[in-house]
Amino acid sequence: NRLNPSESQFYRTLRGETKNTDVSLSGAKKLNDWLSLSFNGRMGWSHSQNTNGLASGRFLVTANNAFTPFSTSVLIAQSDRERPLQSRSKFESGSLSMTLNGNIGRWRTTLTARYEDRHSNYASERLAPGSAGLITVPQTFNPFDGNLVSLIELTETGSTSRTRVKEISE
C-alpha cells in the first residue's frame, strides 16, 4: 500500500537532443570574355534523439505462482527505468547547382544544372502488442526478484525516405 513513483517526467523530452551540421560553398568565375560560371554546393546532416516515457506494464501474479505469498491473484504495475522508450531521426541532404551564362553578340544564353539528394530515417520504440495490456506472470517466474520488467517486450517501428532531383534547363 505504498506509492512507488516512477518519476516518469525525467524520461520524456519535448525537444530532445539534436545535432545539426551544414556546410556550403559557392563561387563564380569568368571563364573568358563571353562565358561565366557560378556554382553552389551544400551538404547537411541532422541527428536527433528523444525519450518517450518508460516502458511500463501491469502484471498479473496468479495465486498458484510458486513465489507468491498471497492467497489470491494480485496485480503489480511497474516501469522499467533501464529501458526508456526512445525515438531517433537522421536526415542527410546534399545539393549542387551550376549555371553557365554566355553572351554572343546580342544573344544571351543560360544553362542551369541542379542535383539534390535527401535521405531520412526515423525509428521509434514502443510496447509490443503482447506487452500493451495485462501480462500474466508465468507460474515458475519469481515476480519479486527485481526482474519483472524483463517480461515487457519492446518493438521498433520506423520509416525511410529518399528523394533525388536531377535537372537541366536552359
The answer to whether 126 and 157 are in contact (CB under 8 A) is: yes
Q: What is the DSSP letter of 132?
A: S
| Chain position carrying cell 536526415 | 91
Burial class of residue 162, CB neighbours in 10 A (0-12, 13-18, 19+): exposed
**Across the chain, where does the E strand assignment appear?**
17-30, 35-61, 74-104, 107-127, 134-136, 154-169
Considering the chain, what percentage of its residues have pLDDT values greater than 70? 96
Of the CA atoms within 13 Å of residue 164, those in its CB half-sphere come to: 1
Separation between Cα atoms, residue 136 and residue 132, nearest integer Å: 12
pTM of the predicted structure, to 2 decimals = 0.73
* pLDDT band with cut points at 50, 70 and 90 for residue 161: very high
Bridging pattern class, strands 74-104 and 107-127: antiparallel
Q: Closest Cα partner for 54 from 20, 78, 18, 28?
A: 78
Q: What is the pLDDT of residues 28-44, one digit of tens each?
A: 999 999 999 999 999 99
